[in-house]
């Protein structure tokens, strides 16, 4: 159902009127999905945090351009996240001083020491590499529909495509991604199961 995110409109409108708490609530609501998506695209915790921050800063900076789709800002935000991840250097440059000034907890221990984490990391790196082979538009479609479970209609609306065009491009993008993953034979990882299904 499209109405799950209906709630964003009220908060977004209040944010535009300068109500910080409303924007804070939007941040709380979408933070984890944006972060997961950023991580998926870059496979690195620190960079994913930078992308997360840049995405929300862009959401605000470009607030006049934000397109609310089916009551949600999330599709727009995810497209921005994808753009930020693809142009990491440019995004980081704009917000470099701010990003450096934000405090971070230093992770204890070396994540590569744990064999399970190392295996997971490898899978994530492979996926990130495979995703990097897609064009921006394909990546947007795969991100929105395959990973974030938006409808084809919603993805089409935010990307300015017709639903039919989105559907056929998604099909091709899936095939390219599958090919890219299979190309990473070094990690004996099967294609992610989520790529196999058809989404309505």
Partner 1 sequence: MNQLHVDNVFSDALRAELITRVEKAAPARVRKRTRLWAGTAVFAGIGLLGGVGATAAGLFVTPGSPQVTPLASPVTETHTGTATVQLGPPPEGTTGIEMQLRCLSPGTFEYGRGASNTCDQDDVGTPQDWTGYTIPLTPGEENITITTSPDASWKITAQYVNTKTTEWATNADGDTYGAQNENGSPDMVAVIATNGTRGYVSRTDLEDADGTAAIKTFKSPAEALAWQEARLGKEFAIPVYDVTGKTVVGEFVITSVAGNFGVGGEPAPECTGVPPTLGPGEAWPCLGLSPIETGYPAIPVPSN
Among positions 4-33, residues that touch partner 1 (CB under 8 A) are 4-13, 15-29, 31-32
Q: Residue 147, interface with partner 1 (CB under 8 A)?
A: no
Do residues 144 and 57 touch, judged by C-beta distance below 8 A?
no
Identify the DSSP state of 1: -
Residues in the chain, overall count: 200
Ramachandran area for residue 72 (φ above 0: left; ψ -120 to 50: alpha; else beta):
beta
Do residues 69 and 148 touch, judged by C-beta distance below 8 A?
no
By CB atoms closer than 10 A (0-12, 13-18, 19+), residue 169 is buried
Q: Which 175-194 residues touch partner 1, going by CB under 8 A? A: none
Q: Residue 200, interface with partner 1 (CB under 8 A)?
A: yes
Q: Which 81-120 residues touch partner 1, going by CB under 8 A? A: 83, 86-87, 98, 102-105, 116-117, 120
Helical pair 74-86 and 45-61, crossing angle rounded to 10 deg: 120
Contact range with partner 1 by CB under 8 A, out of 58-66, 141-149, 172-180, 185-193: 58-66
Q: Residue 68, interface with partner 1 (CB under 8 A)?
A: yes
Shortest Å distance, C-beta 175 to partner 1:
22
Q: Residue 164, interface with partner 1 (CB under 8 A)?
A: yes
Q: Residue 69, interface with partner 1 (CB under 8 A)?
A: yes
């Amino acid at each position: 159902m499209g109405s799950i995110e209906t709630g964003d409109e009220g908060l977004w409108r209040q944010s535009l009127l300068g109500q910080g708490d409303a924007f804070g609530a939007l941040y709380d609501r979408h933070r984890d999905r944006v972060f997961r998506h950023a991580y998926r695209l870059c496979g690195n915790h620190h960079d994913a945090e930078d992308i997360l921050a840049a995405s929300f800063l862009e959401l605000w900076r470009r607030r006049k351009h934000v397109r609310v789709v089916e009551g949600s800002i999330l599709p727009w935000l995810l497209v921005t996240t994808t753009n930020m991840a693809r142009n990491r250097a440019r995004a980081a440059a704009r917000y470099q001083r701010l990003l450096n000034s934000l405090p971070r907890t230093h992770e204890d221990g070396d994540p590569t020491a744990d064999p399970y984490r190392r295996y997971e990391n490898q899978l994530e790196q492979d996926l990130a590499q495979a995703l990097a082979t897609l064009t921006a538009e394909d990546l947007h479609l795969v991100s929105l529909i395959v990973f974030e479970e938006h409808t084809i209609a919603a993805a089409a609306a935010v990307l300015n495509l017709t639903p039919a065009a989105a559907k056929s491009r998604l099909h091709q993008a899936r095939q390219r991604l599958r090919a890219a993953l299979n190309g990473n034979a070094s990690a004996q990882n099967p294609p992610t199961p989520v790529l196999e299904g058809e989404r309505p």
